[in-house]
């Protein structure tokens, strides 16, 4: 469902606010934070992190956890837009963030990967391995272009037919 929504947004067949509403319903954790898709392109997804009370910390800046969540969200959506979620299990394995500047306004998490990157780092290695791990970098900037954080999100990508879970 998510990849269909993103493909419709890419083709301008669906307004981003409609995609946001669907994602807030499908991923309820994100709903109270009002993370919003700002840009959806083939090689880039930008998620807006609103400067609002539910996203603030005790010193009136954006909370580190909402910055990390927005980075994971933008990066995960971008991977899903490139890979068929019915063929591949995409699961976050690790997240590490370097917080560089206190965010005191709306900020934006930008994930960027190319089709060539997917081919080289995911699809080709999966021809020889049961799973792969990739670590794209997500940058977060505020409205004034200050770099707020650099977030590395490690994902394990595995064909569903290779997934073995205990019951």
H or E segment at 115? helix 115-118
Confidence of residue 1 (pLDDT cuts 50, 70, 90): low
Interstrand relation of 107-112 and 132-134 (parallel, antiparallel or unpaired): unpaired
Quote the domain boundaries for residue 7: 2-162
Residue 77's φ and ψ, nearest 5 degrees, are -65, -40
Going by pLDDT thresholds of 50, 70 and 90, the confidence category of residue 58 is very high
Q: Report the distance separating Cα 148 and Cα 104, nearest Å.
A: 10
Residue 131 lies in a domain: yes
- How confident is residue 16, by pLDDT bands cut at 50, 70 and 90? confident
CATH value at residue 15: 3.10.129.10
56: DSSP letter: B
**Structural domain includes residue 119:** yes
166 pLDDT above the threshold of 70: no
Q: Is residue 167 part of a domain?
A: no
């Amino acid at each position: 469902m998510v990849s269909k929504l993103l493909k419709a947004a890419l083709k301008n067949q669906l307004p981003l606010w409609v995609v946001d509403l669907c994602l807030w319903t499908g991923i309820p954790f994100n709903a109270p934070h009002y993370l919003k898709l700002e840009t959806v392109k083939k090689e880039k997804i930008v998620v807006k992190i609103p400067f609002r009370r539910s996203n603030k910390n005790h010193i009136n800046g954006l909370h580190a956890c909402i910055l990390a969540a927005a980075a994971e969200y933008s990066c995960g959506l971008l991977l899903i837009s490139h890979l068929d979620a019915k063929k591949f299990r995409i699961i976050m394995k690790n997240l590490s963030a370097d917080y560089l500047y206190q965010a005191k306004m709306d900020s934006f998490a930008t994930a960027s990967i190319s089709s060539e990157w997917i081919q080289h780092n995911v699809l080709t290695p999966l021809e020889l391995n049961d799973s792969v791990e990739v670590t794209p970098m997500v940058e977060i900037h505020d409205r004034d272009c200050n770099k707020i954080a650099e977030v590395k999100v490690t994902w394990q990508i595995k064909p569903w037919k290779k997934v073995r879970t205990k019951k």
